[in-house]
Structure 1
């Protein structure tokens, strides 16, 4: 099996319908040190329970990041929301699945251990919070025009574009990626058991499979270009581990303000600011204090069932429209 076998097309009456990502969970030896980092990154503490801190963004999901106390740094999985209780029950039939249990963030959850040994969770019954976007930190743009009287091209009139520096609030978890032990097996697993569908398939210069960006297939309704992806092992990133988790912010201006703030705090930048090819997001990658990759992004593409699948052959280092070249992970 593999991408060319199109497992997302094949009928599966037990396929679990997902609506989108909810949160990620990581284990950290020093929770208070991690807490400082995550709040500087733009997440907000929601509550604490059983040696874990639960964080949210300003979006509707009650949780965006779970930091648990562990002896060593550890990826504890990604959580996706099921369309309903029937889909949560279907999730218990997937190989590697456990029983339905309570989710500390609200509702119910099923944990599934995927073919690479990575936890994947399906949740249902979450109590959504009010959408509380921050006050816009930037003004409308003024664009070139034959005359300054053009109010459509130059809407900012008598107002100065002076922005506040500091922490940039996170909206939500947008996507998470995994490095598979066996690419074809993992890809087939996720597309057979869940409503994931490829948006872009990335091939190396020799035509070998590098990664597949997957969106949640909601039919005619649109969803983000990718909320999940499966990748081949890349350099020092080992199989059976996370690639990165990405959190949405509200604007490109915010990306740069956040980048400057994190740099000023002395954190370690990996790659950014730049704009991706697949998905078009403006990206900014950082290492957290335990060496995990974490990303701010904004302005990503939306797709639906009518969007053709892209097959892209490129060098692994050519992952952006503009911005710095992809550095090597050491």
Structure 2
């Protein structure tokens, strides 16, 4: 079992076709305290129901984050959108799956408990919202040129580049990662039962599997370099737990403005701002108030069925093209 066995190409007539991630759900003991953090992070409250707060971004999904009232902090799973009702019905056949139920944010949902005991959800029938991007907070860039009369290299003319500070709006949930109890079993599970395919496989210095970045395989159509990943335990990142959830923002300028805003609010930064190797995203990781990792990202790679799988051998600390070194999770 494992990556080299290529479970994503194995014949499975009941393989569930996913379109992409929708939202994540976390349990928090203090919802109002969490609400303050999430709105500072750039999420917008959509509605409240049954001791839970549902948040959206400015993208088309009606929900990107669900905060539920729980006695202790816990990860309650990630939600992916099925291509149709037939795929939702296929999801009920996966080991660990429950029945089709109503989803509070609309449509229907199936919960699956994966081999590590982590909830994974498949949803269908969501009513999409209008795409409402924020007004651009920056001006075009001026680049070096032999002359200032070059309007192509220097398009910003007579306009000043002065940006508004504050909360940076989130677009969507881009990806989520899990720490597997058994790496090969979890990898096989997700690639056999769903249309996940590796984009990059990260190997440690000894050649062992550290992490596999998975994209939703849509054939010739492009999708993000990874919308899901499976990782080995590392430090505080223990098996059966989430790694992090990542939310897209609209620009690199936004990354730095958001970083400064969260810093000034006194929140705890983990890693960033920098640019990843795998996926190329500009990243900025933060701890939420209950110790979960969340990320702002922008400018990620797109792949399709013609993109070759990358096999990358590196030290765990070398996770970026530029930016601060990866801190140790002890």
Offset of 1:318 from its aligned partner? 0.2
Task: Report the counterpart of residue 327 of structure 2 in structure 1.
Answer: 327
Offset of 1:228 from its aligned partner? 0.1
Task: Report the counterpart of residue 113 of structure 2 in structure 1.
Answer: 113
Q: What 5-or-longer segments of structure 2 have no aligned partner? A: none
Question: In 1, distance between residues paired with 2:128 and 2:134?
Answer: 18
Q: Residue 66 of structure 1: SS of its match in structure 2?
A: strand
Offset of 1:121 from its aligned partner? 0.1
TM-score scaled to structure 2, two decimals? 1.00
Aligned length: 330
Q: Residue 213 of structure 1: SS of its match in structure 2?
A: strand
Q: Deviations over 1:259-307 (max 9, x none)?
A: 0000000000000000000000000000000000000000000000000
RMSD (CA atoms): 0.4
8 Å contact 2:234–2:329 — kept in the other structure? Answer: no
Question: In 2, distance between residues paired with 1:237 and 1:293?
Answer: 10
Q: Deviations over 1:27-57 (max 9, x none)?
A: 0000000000000000000000000000000
Question: In 2, distance between residues paired with 1:79 and 1:213?
Answer: 17
Task: Report the counterpart of residue 91 of structure 2 in structure 1.
Answer: 91
Q: Deviations over 1:88-111 (max 9, x none)?
A: 000000000000000001000000
Offset of 1:235 from its aligned partner? 1.5
Task: Report the counterpart of residue 284 of structure 1 in structure 2.
Answer: 284
Q: Deviations over 1:96-146 (max 9, x none)?
A: 000000000100000000000000000000000000000000101000011
Offset of 1:328 from its aligned partner? 1.0
Stretches of 4+ moved more than 4 A in 1? Answer: none
Offset of 1:329 from its aligned partner? 1.7
Higher alpha-carbon deviation: 148-157 or 93-102: 148-157
Which residues of 2 match residues 31-46 of structure 1 at below 5 A? 31-46=31-46
8 Å contact 2:214–2:229 — kept in the other structure? Answer: yes
TM-score scaled to structure 1, two decimals? 1.00
Task: Report the counterpart of residue 22 of structure 2 in structure 1.
Answer: 22
Q: Residue 237 of structure 1: SS of its match in structure 2?
A: coil
Offset of 1:236 from its aligned partner? 2.1
Q: Residue 243 of structure 2: SS of its match in structure 1?
A: strand
Question: In 2, distance between residues paired with 1:143 and 1:303?
Answer: 29
Question: In 1, distance between residues paired with 2:146 and 2:87?
Answer: 57
Q: Deviations over 1:174-205 (max 9, x none)?
A: 00000000000000000000000000000000
